[in-house]
Amino acid sequence: MSGSKQRESVFPTRMALTNTKQRLKGAQTGHSLLAKKRDALTLRFRDILKKVDEAKRKMGRVMQLASFSLAEVTYAAGDISYLVQESVKTATFKVKARQENVSGVTLPAFDVDRVPGSDFNLTGLGRGGQQVLKAKEVYAKAVETLVELASLQTAFTTLDEVIRATNRRVNAIEHVIIPRLENTVAFILSELDEMDREEFFRLKKVQGKKKRDAEAADKVKALLEASSADTVTSVDTEMEGTTDLLATKDEDVIF
């Protein structure tokens, strides 16, 4: 029946049928759970994709403003990069990593921790102070946007890999494992039905042979009884036909 289809090599027994049905039920449950997980990850993936697109557009605008602000600072105060490098003692921005759990998948996320104050407040005091402060705020916004974009892009890449793996598992269970187990169950059922039919046919043959043997034994017994009855009747007849020599009296013989 299902010998030409893909199935597992099992011996067709009731225990194998029970185990295969349990495995089939587990595969169907796992397929349902993985499908729900895939749907949840896909929903979060689309949300992150939308945020990534918005963050990239925002990043482009912010970097454009930052470039203009740096050009204004260079025009007003000249090159202040060496002054900034000499004034900076500690980092103003710190990036903290954390983790988010989405349907059992751990997604990395980054947050910006901005330290209040600045080490180069006196930069541009002679000229271009307003442009320096503006450039400072614009670049701070650019760094925050860059960290946000990095967090979204990392989560996007991680989710993409997990969704691909989950899709492969769902497809494998749906198109390989479940059909193979269903074919195995069908094969075991067909073999068990065939064995039941063979056993029923064997029992009928045994019962028919026993019945024929019983009838033959009854016939032999009847023949034996009939033959014994005929023998007894013939013996009685012979006994009646014989003459008692002692009861008869012979005639005298004269010499």
pLDDT in tens, 119-177: 555 454 445 567 777 777 888 888 888 888 988 999 899 999 999 999 999 999 999 99
Condensed to tens digits (0 to 9), the pLDDT of residues 165-181 reads 999 999 999 999 999 99
What is the enclosing helix (H) or strand (E) of 110? Answer: strand 105-114
CA gap 45, 154 in Å, rounded:
12
Question: In one letter, which amino acid is 244?
Answer: D
Q: What pTM did the predictor assign?
A: 0.63
Question: In one letter, which amino acid is 123?
Answer: T
